[in-house]
């Protein structure tokens, strides 16, 4: 089914409500940023659709929570295998809707397969514990147990930049925990999102375990405020995350709100390796990643050497058609996003930066842009660019560069190239980020390792194990007058 739909001229991306794919009502076409024509079509949810979803949630949650962890794990394992089977078809959808190069799209779907496999493994480990109540006088003669119970209903609000794998994290972990999940798809990636839901249904996910709606921010706000929703996982901008939190009220939240990632290259680093890695990870997905390399701080003694190597690596990247297997950098999500990169680059140059590469666009394709020595007040240093631009700046003192990194209001992830273990532990302790990658750039993630930020990058951690903790509640059973140890109060 997925393969056939991916070959359609305009790929249908229906709602999934009440166990049925629905295409009724007003529609929206997604214009592919590279091909500049409609590539997918989705219905636009309204209040009636939200009401239809909400009316089913309590009953569906009751059904999903009664499924055995082993059966949920088996579904997720089959979904993992199916993701690899449908990898090329799904990568093509990503390329059409988002301009993501197909080789990157295949990589994302391979991560979807890994994520579902990890979710399956974690589903088999959900349990509880026997509490040592008899260790205190008032507990003698009693027994207490805990287990992790599903929250009931989760809301997954996903972004456009990695719509398949980030949905796999949210929906896979929620299902592993025994919840029903409502998915609010990003308007830029309706077919990519529907494909992941279809994959899980093909693998045997019960119809009551998932609902999918397409729509705008108003639909998201209504779902966030719905009392049937017990936990919300949102990935997106800090401003939208703030709106989600206000709409949600007293609900559990997992918020991943972007970043302004820094990578530090010290004087003892392998500069050639650092330049190669930063070039590859600074412009993958046209820089549209919350941990994409945006700021590179290089020790002044190696600054010129790094700039030469880095610009050569970036210049060698292939820019073009995302459907071409040889393309490294495709288009951005739309022309407005590409224009922002051009404007911020020009503003930095006007403030004293040197433009070494790029600074222009072709439609939605922003040419890979390298700026040297922009002032610390420039938008390309202060704000989240989320585009095909990397700023490179010198530093003299390690303590000073850590402080410069920490001036950002974001704190998601950082990179560090050094052979000095003392610097590693100092940076791990003092950098205000959720994760540090050593001898790699900020843009590296393992899907089974906790991932998340501090400050305006949000809170909570996204990995299947961590998310299952957020998607479950600890329930305690207290047995008065009955002791496993045969004691009497």
Q: How far apart are CA 455 and CA 470, in angstroms?
A: 19
Query: What CA dihedral angle connects 421, 426, 432 and 436, to 10 degrees?
Result: 10
Q: How far apart are CA 300 and CA 296, in angstroms?
A: 12
Q: How many C-beta atoms surround the C-beta of residue 68 within 10 A?
A: 10
> Nearest Cα to 489, choosing from 138, 241, 255?
138
Q: How far apart are CA 307 and CA 275, in angstroms?
A: 8
Secondary structure (3-state) at 262: strand
Q: For residue 28, count CB atoms less than 10 angstroms from its CB and return exposed for 0-12, middle for 13-18, buried for 19 or more.
A: middle
Q: How far apart are CA 463 and CA 474, in angstroms?
A: 19
Burial 221-254 (b: 16+ CB within 10 A, else e): bbbbebebbbbbbbbbbbebbebbbebbeebbbb
Sequence-separated (6 or more) residues with CB below 8 Å from residue 1: 198, 202
Q: Scan for tokens 């391979």, then name that residue.
A: 110
Catalytic residues: 256, 290
Measured CA distances, 206 to 87, 122, 167, 198, 452 (Å) = 23, 19, 17, 12, 30
30 pairs with which residues across the strands? 40
> What is the secondary structure of 142-179 as a DSSP string?
-EEEEEEEE-SEEEEE--SSSHHHHHHHHHHHHHHHT-
Q: How far apart are CA 339 and CA 228, in angstroms?
A: 41
Q: How far apart are CA 250 and CA 231, in angstroms?
A: 10
């Amino acid at each position: 089914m997925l393969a056939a739909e991916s070959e359609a001229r305009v790929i249908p991306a229906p709602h999934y409500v009440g166990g049925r794919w629905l295409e009724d009502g007003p529609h929206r076409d997604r214009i592919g940023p590279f091909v500049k024509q409609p590539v997918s079509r989705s219905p636009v949810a309204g209040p009636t659709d939200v009401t239809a979803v909400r009316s089913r949630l309590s009953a569906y949650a009751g059904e999903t929570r009664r499924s055995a962890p082993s059966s949920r794990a088996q579904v997720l394992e089959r979904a993992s295998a199916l993701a690899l089977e449908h990898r090329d078809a799904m990568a093509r959808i990503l390329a059409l809707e988002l301009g993501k190069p197909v080789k990157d799209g295949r990589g994302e779907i391979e991560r979807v397969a890994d994520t579902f496999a990890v979710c399956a493994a974690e589903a088999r480990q959900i349990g509880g514990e026997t509490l040592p109540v008899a260790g205190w006088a008032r507990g003698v003669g009693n027994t207490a147990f805990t287990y992790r119970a599903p929250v009931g209903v989760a809301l997954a609000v996903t972004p456009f930049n990695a719509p398949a794998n980030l949905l796999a994290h949210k929906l896979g972990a929620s299902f592993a925990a025994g919840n029903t999940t409502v998915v609010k798809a990003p308007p830029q990636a309706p077919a990519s999102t529907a494909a992941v839901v279809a994959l899980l249904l093909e693998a045997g996910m019960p119809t009551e375990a998932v609902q999918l709606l397409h729509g705008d921010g108003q639909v998201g706000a209504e779902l966030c405020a719905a009392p049937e929703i017990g936990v919300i996982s949102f990935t997106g901008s800090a401003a939208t995350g703030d709106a989600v939190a206000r709409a949600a009220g007293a609900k559990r939240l997992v918020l991943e709100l972007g970043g302004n990632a820094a990578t530090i290259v010290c004087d003892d680093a392998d500069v050639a390796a650092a330049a190669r890695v930063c070039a590859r990870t600074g412009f993958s997905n046209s820089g549209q990643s919350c941990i994409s390399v945006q700021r590179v701080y290089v020790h002044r003694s190696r600054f010129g050497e790094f700039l030469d190597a880095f610009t050569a690596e970036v210049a060698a990247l292939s820019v073009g058609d995302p459907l071409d297997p040889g393309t490294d950098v495709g288009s951005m999500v739309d022309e407005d996003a590409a224009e922002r990169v051009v404007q911020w680059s020009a503003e930095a140059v006007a403030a004293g930066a040197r433009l070494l590469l790029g600074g222009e666009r072709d439609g939605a394709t922003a040419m890979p842009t390298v700026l040297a020595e922009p002032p610390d007040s420039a938008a390309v240093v202060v704000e989240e660019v989320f585009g095909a631009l990397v700023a490179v700046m010198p530093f003299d003192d390690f303590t000073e560069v850590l402080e410069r990194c920490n001036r950002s209001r974001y704190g998601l992830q950082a990179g560090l190239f050094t052979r000095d273990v003392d610097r590693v532990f100092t940076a791990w302790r003092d950098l205000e980020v959720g994760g540090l990658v050593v001898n790699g750039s900020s843009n590296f993630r393992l899907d089974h390792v906790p991932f998340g930020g501090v400050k305006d990058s949000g809170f909570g951690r996204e990995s299947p194990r961590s998310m299952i903790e957020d998607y479950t509640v600890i329930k305690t059973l207290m047995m008065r007058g009955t002791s496993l140890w045969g004691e009497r109060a």
